[in-house]
Structure 1
């Protein structure tokens, strides 16, 4: 009897808390429902402020659609007048630094005008997308510009150091490898780990490959192999892990790949040590690949599908002189 009373009391309490939470939801000017779940003292965000925030977008059943935490970098934006329900510009001025808020965006509003893009799991009449937002930092425009310039200067200094040290870093890495890699004129190094007697690809062929990409210090930044991604902690939920396909010498991959795979036979495994000028140069690629970063790829050339190869111009044979003197006949222009 006591147990039944306890269970009943628990459900009444839980339902009461749920109803209270539902009742605390407010509606923004654009029609989003929101609830500030963690409020902090401080000035509210103003127009033209630059804010840094983390955002997770989920379904109402808690399936994560996108997360700045997963990508490892928060978002930054300047607060402007609100134009659409999902730009959150009417929510930001309600918050201060470190505040957290739960926002429900109606799917009807989110996909208005492009209903064909609406996924089946948001097809319900009152379906919503859940935004979980946390304000990390609030700055004036001048403060944000000053911080950006300082960060640029620091990044430029670090890039120059990496540029200066790149050649010696590659030389040190290559010297430790056995068997010794071969070098090409461009500065690419390649080390055949599992040889094959099968044909090599030609420019225009479609290649199917496996790869693991690392920095010189051994950090894995990308791979098409699920087990390797899981082991390195770079597994991307929802990504199809399968053999990677590209057309060689068609500008679809970094130059180091275009050059390196033409040196390999089908079925072979190899290691490519690619200088930054044949990869991402002074641009870098995300947090894992700074400017002037040499890259190391362990690759396997699975198959070659012949493509259209550039036509090779045929040489016109040159006739050798016979040595006989050619006598030209004079043609008379007089009429008979």
Structure 2
């Protein structure tokens, strides 16, 4: 539940007004969980004491005609961090949010042209002007954190995201490896495997030594989805001009960096690339769905 006070619930309370023109109504939940009006009091921490900190807050933006423009909760389930500057722009969103203490909810009403100029740095969209040139913001403040606390939290969340992604990649790799091994068995093919996990089948051996990291390689290729055989790209579609890239620096998917590094000049090979070494869970457009194993027929034309 967003716990934002709805405008209809606050009709009996008049708006207070800041010198900048921003109007506000403040609320705090009582012991029964009902929101009661709250006025700014001398015991409130002054804005200056919160400057440089971060307020986490849920927000909902509405037009003057009460049409919802954006709900932060619908976009992301966690409260959004808002940095409180030492000198907030009068009439801007940060000035209004600086009135809130954790646990407060509020309804703010801004002249739309003012808040768009002060906070968003652009002109008011015409449809908002036609709705009365008013922007209403419903806000629910959750936590007040120092910048160090906020950075530590973000680092912790990032670590959790990376850990989860790594776990998912391991599980997906197991599925992909099973698919690749089944493909090799069905086609009576033998493949080698790079340390990183890319399978490669040498169709024609080249000469000399393989390229090194940092060298520019030129490759002819045809890419297909392993499970369906559907082609999604090839140099034949590009006037058969070899594709050039710098090896080992992340200009291509990891499976290419790994596989091409195993070839010598003039080699022809098939690369079988598990999805975490290709486009992973995000896929690549309509032709490469998420978690797709890719098959590439490649020829290392030359390198320097």
TM-score by length of 2: 0.50
Tell me how far apart the structure 2 counterparts of residues 200 and 158 of structure 1 sit (CA, whole Å): 31
* Structure 2 equivalent of residue 132 of structure 1: 138
Which structure's residues are more often strand, by fraction? 2
The structure-2 alpha-carbon separation of the partners of 1:94 and 1:161, relative to structure 1 and needing over 3 Å to count, comes to: closer
- Structure 1 counterpart SS, 2:109: strand
What's the offset of the Cα at 1:112? 4.8
* CA deviation after TM superposition for structure 1 residue 30, in Å: 2.0
Trace 1:269-280 onto structure 2 (pairs within 5 A): 273-275=274-276
1:1-336 correspondence runs (5 A): 21=11, 24-38=14-28, 43-44=44-45, 46-48=49-51, 49-72=53-76, 73-80=78-85, 81-89=87-95, 91-112=96-117, 117-124=123-130, 126-139=132-145, 141=146, 145-146=148-149, 148-149=151-152, 152=155, 156=159, 159=162, 168-177=170-179, 180=182, 187=197, 191-196=225-230, 200-202=233-235, 255-256=252-253, 273-275=274-276, 294-295=280-281, 297=283, 300-301=286-287
CA distance in 1, matches of 2:148, 2:176: 42
Distance across 1 between alignment mates of 2:116 and 2:156: 42
Output the CA distance in 2 between the equivalents of 1:25 and 1:96.
Answer: 18
Q: Conserved in 2, the CA contact under 8 Å of 1:53 and 1:134?
A: yes
Question: Contact 1:273–1:296 (CA<8 Å) still a contact in 2?
Answer: no
> Once the 2 structures are TM-superposed, how far is the Cα of residue 67 of structure 1 from its aligned partner?
2.2
Structure 1: distance between partners of 2:283 and 2:139? 38
- The runs of 5 or more residues in structure 1 that have no matched partner are 1-16, 206-247, 260-270, 280-293, 303-312, 314-336
Give me the whole-angstrom Cα distance separating, in 2, the residues matched to 1:38 and 1:167. 45
Partner of 1:239 in structure 2?
Answer: none
Partner SS for 1:94: coil
Structure-2 separation of matches of 1:36 and 1:176: 59
What is the deviation of 1:47?
A: 2.6
Report deviation, 1:124.
3.7
Aligned residues: 212
Structure 2 CA distance for partners of 1:110 and 1:258, relative to 1, 3 Å: farther
Contact 2:113 2:123 in 1 (8 A): no
Whichever of the two has the greater Rg, that structure is 1
Alignment check: 8 A CA contact 1:36 1:100 kept: yes
Contact 2:63 2:131 in 1 (8 A): no
Is the 8 Å Cα contact of residues 50 and 78 (structure 1) preserved in structure 2?
A: yes
**What are the Cα deviations for residues 26-64 of structure 1, in whole angstroms up to 9, with x where unaligned?**
212321111124456895464324311111112233333
- Whether the 8 Å contact between 2:93 and 2:115 is mirrored in structure 1 is no
- Structure 1 residues 155 and 128, CA gap change in structure 2 (3 angstroms): closer
Deviation at residue 128 of structure 1 after TM alignment: 0.5
Distance 1:154 1:118 in 2: 35
- Where in structure 2 are there 5+ consecutive unaligned residues? 1-6, 31-37, 185-190, 200-223, 246-250, 257-271, 289-300
Could you say if the C-alpha distance between residues 155 and 103 of structure 1 is closer, same or farther in structure 2, counting changes exceeding 3 Å? closer
